[in-house]
Amino acid sequence: MSDVYILGVDMIKFGRFPETSVPKLGATAALMALDDAGLNIKDMEALYCGNLGQAGAMVGQRVLAEIGQTGIPVVNCANACATGATAFREGWMAIKAGVYDVVLAVGVEQMGKGLLGGGGPKKGIPTEGLLGSGTMPCVFAEAGMEHSRKYGTSFEQFAKVSVKNHHHSTLNPKAMYQIETPLDTVMNAEMISYPNTKLMCSVNVDGSAAAVLISERKLKEIGSKRAVKVRASILTSDPYQERNLTMPDVNTCTQQAAAKAYEMAGVGPEDIDLVELHDCFATAEILHYGNLGLGKPEDAGRMIDEGETAHGGRIPVNVSGGLLSKGHPLGATGIANIYEVSTHLRGEAGKRQVEGATFGLTHVIGLGSACGIHILEKV
Amino acid sequence: MSEPSGSNSASALLPVVPFLKIPETGDPYLEGHKCQDCGAVFIGERDNCSSCASRDHLKPVRLSNDGELYVFSIVHRSFPGIEVPYVSAVVDLEGGGTVKGNLINVEPDPEKIKMGMPVEVVYQTAPRKDAEGNEYLTYYFQPRG
């Protein structure tokens, strides 16, 4: 089976673009990735398009209508917040299988403001606020409280994740927000769902990201010094756990995906130079230190206290600013974090460059649940 | 065990969720389904077991009203019209079954709520009616003992 490489990858600066359309947003990133690869839409043999909000509306074909209807096969993917990673992985698999040599993966989302989750039953009375809360800030607050219960993790430690990631964002011009938030500012911000304050919740934004994937054979034919090797691509769903139909479990599917990804890549967490993980809420990041093997689960609080996951620390996490700063356009996120890690592996991350980065890991969670992990290598 | 509040008999009320059962006589209760092969307990009805994948070996069980607070969050922002703050709680019931609901009769203060504390299920008329004016019986958790 062919090794698979990323030849081109890019993302737009995330923000709010109510005047544009989902296909136009997707087309912008697609053209940026094609330009980065030095190729044309006519060179693409297939398109894998990730979008959640218009999952029934043939977004991939509408992207092609914006940039070139070449008649190639289009697969539209929806997998909650793992949508972009799933689209990327479908392209990876097609090349791995030898079906195509060059494909395009696009992730795109246009979102309104406000709380996600908490949709009640169609009949009867709304149960939100009666039978607990299904809002995402609450669901991830409860997931964080499970970590607190097991390991004593404090509100302050969760808040430090936002301090760190917002600090990182000040060096990332593509982040929606590039604002320092000191600890007292984070902790004293409006409480949304304890222990997540407003500054500990990711932002709903519009965004898109895209990647051109290529087989080893075709890469040698074209030649590029900026290609990034995909060493592992893994997708899992959540196995049965006694509580997970009541309380979504983002841990087990991540642990299983990480174990498989390290095995596929033939490297361990000690070999990874930077991680972009799914900090949809500050509480979530803490859980994934242990889930991804970056440290022991019980050490996650200490790791954030001692700056181990800050830029310059032992294992920098979310040097892009994470979803907490960049924003979280659901379908685009999984390719945007591949863009970030690839940029470091190419040595093109400017002021936020993780020096000497050879291996990087990307992680997303779609609640319900899907976990996508990619391990990328500098060539 | 708590009685449903209000002067109406419980049978005049509709259940807030299908797994809240209101028998003709006797107290309301929460119903689970237990796998006869692996023992997994699910909330509500189902045909097949998602733990061991066995088919048609699930039997309805009456869930306990006693349980333990597993985790919680204090919700300060919800959708328009939803009164805040309230405590969203995940409770492990004795004998199996994990249920989510509001924890009442506690201060919405993280210092006052202890994970692992014993709680019980209580049944009350919901403070909301549907568009036809029907009333509903709901469940809450409250500290026990």
Calculate how close chain B gets to A355, using CA atoms only, in Å: 40
Task: Please name the member of B76, B82, B139 whose beta carbon is closest to the beta carbon of A192.
Answer: B76
Residue B120 and residue B56 in contact, taking contact as beta carbons nearer than 8 Å: no
- B2: in domain: no
**Is the confidence at residue A301, as pLDDT, over 50?**
yes
Q: What is the ipTM of this complex?
A: 0.92
Number of independent structural domains in chain B: 1
CB count within 10 Å of CB B52 equals 13
A133-168 residues labelled b (16+ CB within 10 A) or e (exposed)? bbbbbbbbbbbbbbbbbebebebebbbbbbbbbbbb
CB-CB under 8 Å, A245 with B42: yes
- pLDDT tens for A221-250 read 999 999 999 999 999 999 999 998 899 999
A53 to chain B, any CB pair closer than 8 A? The answer is no
* Separation of alpha carbons A9 and A342, rounded Å: 8
Q: Inform me whether the C-beta atom of residue B38 falls under 8 Å from chain A C-beta atoms.
A: no
Flag whether B78 is in a domain.
yes
pLDDT surpassing 50 at residue B94: yes
> B117 in contact with A at a CB cutoff of 8 Å?
no
pLDDT tens per residue across span B120-138: 999 999 999 999 999 999 9
Active site residue A328: yes
The reply to whether B93 falls in a domain is yes
The parent domain of residue B103 ranges over 10-143
pLDDT of residue A115: 75
On whether residue B4 sits in a domain, the answer given is: no
**Mean pLDDT for all residues in chain A:** 96
> DSSP H helical segments within A105-222, as ranges?
136-151, 155-169, 183-188, 216-222
* Domain chopping of chain A, boundaries: 4-113+203-378
Is B124's Cβ below 8 Å from some Cβ in A? no
Whole-number mean pLDDT of chain B? Answer: 92
How far, CA to CA in Å, does A271 sit from each of A146, A260, A354, A376? 29, 15, 14, 11
Q: Which residue out of A147, A278, A311, A328 is catalytically annotated? A: A328
**Topology at the third CATH level for domain A4-113+203-378:** Peroxisomal Thiolase; Chain A, domain 1 (3.40.47)
Q: How far apart are CA B75 and CA A347, in angstroms?
A: 43
Catalytic, A138? Answer no
B116 found inside a domain = yes
DSSP-H helix ranges across A276-329: 282-291, 300-305, 322-326
- B5 in a structural domain: no
Best probe of the B interface among A127, A146, A156, A199, by most B CBs < 10 A, is A127
Q: Do A131 and B73 touch (CB under 8 A)?
A: no
Edge-to-edge strands of the sheet including A359-366?
A74-77, A47-50, A102-109, A207-215, A4-11, A228-237, A370-378, A359-366, A274-276
